[in-house]
Amino acid sequence: MRLIDPFLIGFFRLTGYSLVDFFTGVFCLCMGCAVLGELTISAAIRLNRSHLKALKHEVSQKETLSMQAYADGDRVSYKALNKAANDVWGRYFFTMAAYSAGILWPVPFALGWMQTRFQNVDFQLAFPLNLVFGDYVGYPFIFIPMYIFTRIIFKYLRPRLPYFRGVQIMLDHPEKP
């Protein structure tokens, strides 16, 4: 924590205006989380590409065989093959869901770091937000929507960034090596 603190806090001291600096720092921290999460997920997908490709091929093969059995009137084989295809598809789906969750791993660390620096900082809310959330909120109230915002921005930046351009091509065309 001590090693990264001077680097991270630098983003919160860019202009000398505390509110502007806070929002700028949160934006930079969130963008760092988004980039780090994307790097992690892209590495995991690249390392497991052959496994994912094999799962997709197996699903396709079992679906084709089940449809052929259905066309032949073999209901028992159709049901067995369809069940097998659903099982393989479930493994593929939950593998991809785990990868998607892996994008979020930097967020708790960023929030933990922010707690060490901004635990006692409160933001007063104006009407009508104060009716829902109370009069004051802390740093997570700013961080979470800012993280969502940076994920949306990164979605549009990814195809234009050198490394992530290749990742985007890999995601758009998974059948290519």
Residues 72-123 pLDDT 10s: 888 888 888 888 888 988 888 888 888 888 899 999 999 999 999 888 888 8
- Check whether 174 has a pLDDT greater than 70: no
For the whole model, what pTM was predicted?
0.77
* Distance of alpha carbon 140 from alpha carbon 127, whole angstroms: 19
pLDDT score of 176: 56
* Distance of alpha carbon 5 from alpha carbon 98, whole angstroms: 29
The residues with which 137 forms a beta bridge, in sequence order, are 123
Give which of 37, 163, 13, 161 is closest to 110, Cα–Cα.
Answer: 37
- If you average pLDDT over every residue of the chain, what do you get? 86
Which pair of structure tokens corresponds to residue 17?
């205006």
pLDDT score of 151: 95
Which pair of structure tokens corresponds to residue 20?
């502007």
pLDDT score of 1: 64
CA within 13 Å, CB half, 51: 10
- The percent of residues in the chain predicted with pLDDT above 70, rounded, is 95
Which pair of structure tokens corresponds to residue 60?
């396709």
- Check whether 26 has a pLDDT greater than 70: yes
* Distance of alpha carbon 21 from alpha carbon 5, whole angstroms: 16
- E strands present in the chain: 123-124, 136-137
For 118-139, how does the pLDDT look when each residue is reduced to its tens digit (9 = 90+)?
888 888 888 887 777 788 878 8
Sign (positive or negative) of CA dihedral 66, 69, 71, 76: negative
- Check whether 177 has a pLDDT greater than 70: no
- Check whether 169 has a pLDDT greater than 60: yes
pLDDT score of 30: 96
Which pair of structure tokens corresponds to residue 74?
């073999």
